[in-house]
A and B are shown apart, each in its own frame.
Chain A
Amino acid sequence: MRLRDETYERRLIWRHRIGQCFEWLCRLATMGALGMLVVLMGSIFSSALSHGRGSGLAAVSLTGNGQNHEVKGEITYKVSKVLGGDFEFAANPDEKITKFSAADVLDGKVVFNHNGKRAAPIFDLTVNSLKAGTEPLGQFKGVGPDQTPSEFPVPNVHPPKPAKPWGWLTWGFLTRGNNDDPLQAGIMAGFWGSVWLIGLTGLMVVPIGVGAAVYLEEYAKPTTLTKFIQLNIANLAGVPSIVYGILGFTVFSRMFGVFDAHETIVSIKFVQIFGAKPIDISLPLGPVLLSGAFTLALLSLPVVIITSQEALRSIPSSLRHAAYALGATKWQTIWHQVLPASLPGILTGVILSLSRAIGEAAPIAVIGVAAHLSYAPGRITGISDVVQHPDKLIRAPFDRFTALPTLVYSWVNEAAPNFEHVAAAGIIVLLATLLTMNGTAILIRQRFQQWNRW
């Protein structure tokens, strides 16, 4: 009997072909997922750096020093050599036009669509009158935003935003509060809100999370209660963030409706040592920074506990035994040996889970945070302001706030044109903030890992 006949050979070839196809399928899936990341980033950056859609030419767009209102309705325009975009009818945005009347402009029918290639679009313009036959009223070459001919009203085609290499991500965008006008909208309030959130949440979550992890890893005996706590933590990590939002809304923001009937005001007097007025805190807290930070702390606590536990578990028990052998108590061992050794792992986990929490828009939106806010928490305007009024630092946690993802959410949902570019610029700020946090985590891990050698 021949072991290798032709059918066998053919089957062997096919088996290898299928195997190769499968390997390529796996590669394709991986490349596809990573490619989507590239497309996602590309769409955001191209939108943030683009010029923005042309706004319709309105009555105010007809500029000229000697505006003769009587001829406005009877004037027709002919444009040629248009650089930096196209004139279009709003109803038919794909077709470029060269002729339109002043009446069209006044009715808002004409749109100038910037293609983003020039900061200031330029075109040649011939102005005709409907009445005065074929004789052109005037001819202008190179009409741009900077030079408007004086005698006749001409269409003004200012781009919606001055063209800069960084598009919508301007200094003004970074330093202004939110606004209904896309050109005036800024992210300052959201950025500082998020920074406050990171700080406050971190202050709450680090001691409690690490404490819980230390208890579960170092103290707890494997009883039913311990197992239950462990299972409970693992489950909490999978609870949708919006449920935490509902919890935060009820417990912190609304306080079970206990104070609904009569709003209570608690005054904090100790700030008077700074010579400032006492801080009045109204209960229920409402959508203030503290409610947001409590909510995010509850949200990120399970993940912090789990990652801290893993960090503690990776510490060899020889370290603990050595400490015990030298007569250290359990807490001394943990405080002086185990915690410092596991610090890089714990910090990495804390920062990563915090950056997750900061990117969450849902719980923050649910506790009732509004996006339309034009000041940073506590109305802090700068470092000198903090130095002069240190009480503002205590005021801020009880102040209303907005956060980066909340702003992005409201901008994405905004129907007005050009807000998608504002949203994209906001996303870049959000991603940059998260990247900074994650970068810090990586840096800490690398720095501290050199210390510990065993």
Chain B
Amino acid sequence: MHVRETAIHWILFCCALLSVLTTVSIIFVLITESLIAFPPHTAFFQEVSFLEFFTETRWTPQYADEQRHYGILPLVTGTFLITGISAIIGLPVGLLIAIYLSEYASPNARKWVKPTLEILAGIPTVVYGYFAIRFLTPMLIVPIFENWMGLTVFGKNALAGGIVVGLMIIPMVASLSEDVMRSVPNSLRESGYALGSTKFDVSSKIVVPAALSGIFASFLLALSRSIGETMAVAIASAGFANLTLNPLTQIQTMTSYIVDVMTGEVVSGSTVEKSLYAVALMLFIITMVMNLISQWVLSRYREVYQ
């Protein structure tokens, strides 16, 4: 009997260890292809220098030999353009919804709004991509920016992708921020009311500041999600890797570059294929750092009010 119990203990431990193994294998795969390879092969950074990777302003791996450049800057600006637009849309709206749900909404309204937001969160990203390229661009962006303001709008543009990614992160920001706002003790609110504050004063000057670190963490998680978002951006915005901040042209993000290369023909063992791993490593590091910070903030915050 004792043997069986111990065996089960160890089997379950191995299950838990598998998650560590996943992380280790992700890091192993990304590093062996991009930083240091096993001798007969060469890694990406043994073929392309760090200097070129971080300072070159052109990203053209799929061009002919002499025009081939590996500078990550266009991909990074593309990613941050999408993230920036999505942040402008998603973060304030998500925060306002969170305030509404935690401070203003009646229990009845909450009962309807929360599941509907979950539907918004559960829609696959390809669907958002479809919405961006078949509805937002032709029905909204082209009439406003091209017909009315006279600017040139590309069929694939960063704005459409950014807007749908913003839509995608709204439920995340709303539900995470709402959780932290609701965990702000009621005594704080009541003391605010006792001093003659209006509901607006209480929400904006007491609840939001008290929950600020949690809100910050939810923002970080949402931003890391929009950095890692792939398909919606690949459909709605991704084309040529322009080094630009113009939201009406096509751009290339780190994620959409990976999809772009992998859905086309790629020669096994070529520098182009290895560049995928270098880009994925960048992506992994950026999102990992953001997640770690937000987790640290969230865990610290939980200790304060419990």
Contact = CB atoms under 8 A, between A and B. Distances in A.
Interface of A: 15-16, 18-19, 22-23, 25-30, 32-34, 36-37, 39-40, 43-44, 47, 207-209, 211-212, 214-216, 219-220, 228-229, 231-236, 238-247, 249-251, 254, 257, 260, 298, 301-302, 305, 329-331, 352, 355-356, 359-362, 365-366, 368, 405, 408-409, 412-413, 420, 423-424, 427, 430-431, 434, 438
Interface in B127-150: 127-131, 133-135
A69 to B, nearest CB: 40
Contacts of B234: 362, 409
A282 B41 CA distance: 24
B259 A366 contact: yes
A246 B276 contact: yes
Contacts of B186: none
B124 A361 contact: yes
B12 A212 contact: yes
B11 A211 contact: yes
Contacts of A214: 12
A242 B253 CA distance: 12
Interface in B5-53: 5, 8-9, 11-13, 15-20, 22-23, 25-26, 29-30, 33
B235 interface: yes
Contacts of B96: 25-26, 28-30
Given A25-B96, A27-B100, A365-B263, A305 B199 contact: no
B16 A215 contact: yes
A211 B12 contact: yes
B104 interface: yes
B206 interface: no
A216 B200 contact: no
Contacts of A302: 19
Given A43-B131, A212-B12, A368-B262, A243 B26 contact: yes
A22 B116 contact: no
B295 A242 contact: no
A302 B291 CA distance: 14
Given A219-B12, A239-B26, A250-B29, A360 B284 contact: no
Interface in B177-232: 198-201, 203-204, 221, 224-225, 227-231
B8 A331 contact: yes
Contact of A355 (B12, B19, B122): B122
B126 interface: yes
Contact of A29 (B93, B119, B122, B167): B93
Contact of B126 (A298, A301, A361): A361
Contacts of A26: 96-97, 99-100, 103-104
B125 to A, nearest CB: 7
A302 B25 CA distance: 15
B85 interface: no
Contacts of A240: 227-230, 255, 283-284, 287
B123 interface: yes
A408 B101 CA distance: 34
A239 B100 contact: no
A238 B231 contact: no
B277 to A, nearest CB: 7
A235 B224 contact: no
A236 B130 contact: no
Given A219-B9, A251-B25, A246 B277 contact: yes
Contacts of B4: 331
Contacts of B287: 238-240
B258 interface: yes
Given A229-B17, A298-B22, A243 B113 contact: no
A260 B268 CA distance: 9
Contacts, number: 251
9 contacts: A33-B167, A36-B167, A243-B283, A257-B268, A330-B5, A361-B231, A362-B234, A405-B126, A430-B126
A216 B200 CA distance: 43
A28 B200 CA distance: 16
Nearest to B120: A37
A18 B284 contact: no
B1 interface: yes
A28 B92 CA distance: 12
Count class of interface residues, chain B: 35 or more
A412 B228 contact: no
Contacts of B29: 246-247, 250-251
Main secondary structure of the interface of A (DSSP, over half): helix
A352 B121 CA distance: 11
A365 to B, nearest CB: 5
Contacts of B117: 33-34
Question: Which 9 A-B pairs give the minimum distances between C-beta atoms?
Answer: A240-B228, A359-B124, A19-B200, A211-B15, A26-B100, A29-B96, A215-B12, A238-B291, A362-B230
B258 A360 contact: no
A232 B20 contact: yes
Contacts of B22: 236, 247, 298, 301
Contacts of B16: 211-212, 215-216, 220, 229, 305
A420 B135 CA distance: 11
Contacts of A27: 100, 104
B158 interface: no
Nearest to A37: B120
Contact of B127 (A44, A219, A245, A438): A44
A337 B4 CA distance: 18
B245 interface: no
Given A15-B200, A22-B203, A235-B291, 10 more contacts: A19-B201, A40-B123, A239-B228, A240-B227, A241-B228, A257-B268, A360-B125, A409-B129, A409-B235, A430-B126
A93 B25 CA distance: 55
A232 B27 CA distance: 13
Contacts of B18: 208, 212, 301
A36 B121 CA distance: 12
A366 B258 contact: yes
B92 to A, nearest CB: 8
Interface centre among B25, B199, B200, B201 (most CB of A within 10 A): B200
Contact of B235 (A257, A330, A413): A413
Contacts of B8: 331
Nearest to A28: B96
Contact of B280 (A220, A232, A243, A434): A243
Nearest to B174: A33
A260 B9 CA distance: 39
Interface centre among A29, A211, A254, A430 (most CB of B within 10 A): A29
Contact of A33 (B97, B104, B134, B224): B97
B12 A232 contact: no
A424 B130 contact: yes
Interface centre among B22, B225, B229, B292 (most CB of A within 10 A): B22
